[in-house]
Amino acid sequence: MVDVLKSLDIEYCAANPGSSFRGLQESFINYGGNKSPEWLTCCHEESSAAMAHGYAKIEGKPMMIMAHGTVGLQHASMAIYNAYADRVPMYIILGNILDVNYRRGNAEWVHSVQDAASMARDFIKWDDTPVTLGQLRRIRSSRLQDRDDSAV
């Protein structure tokens, strides 16, 4: 998964560490060498999205953010909406543990939902829920080719 995401040529990933994507965070840092994207630890999901908004305005290319489950997306949603209103792109990964067999503890049960993107769907360009690397590669090759048209 790290190799597929690295192929997006995104320099930074801003996130407040969350249990729903702990394996991906560790893989970015250890396997991926914490480069392209470099992990930027944030204190809140809204600041992660606001940083991505500002970065895209300055650099002219999207930055990645990661948010933890439903509460992470709820916290990030205002800054994501601001980027949408400003026609600024960002790449969002939402940690959501769909398979109940992998949920640990109460937090992962109460923060996981069937359709996490539904709460932001009115102000994002597209969303998907890939469950295999093949699906992630397909999304990368088909949908991310049009990232230069300045929409979230």
Query: pLDDT of 94-146, one tens digit each?
Result: 877 666 677 677 766 666 677 777 788 889 887 877 777 788 777 766 655 55
Model confidence at 150, in pLDDT bands (50, 70, 90)?
very low
Of 121 and 60, the structure prediction assigns the larger pLDDT to 60
The CA–CA distances, whole Å, from 96 to 13, 15, 75 equal 17, 14, 15
**Rounded Cα–Cα distance for residues 38 and 61 (Å):** 15
Model confidence at 71, in pLDDT bands (50, 70, 90)?
confident
Record the pTM: 0.81
State the chain's mean pLDDT as an integer. Answer: 83
- Size of the chain, expressed as the number of residues it contains: 152
Judge if the upstream peptide bond of residue 17 is cis by omega within 30 degrees of 0. Answer: no
For the chain, the C-alpha Rg in angstroms (whole number) is: 14
11, two tokens: 């320099």
Q: What share of the chain is helix, strand, coil (3-state, %, to 5)?
A: 55, 10, 35
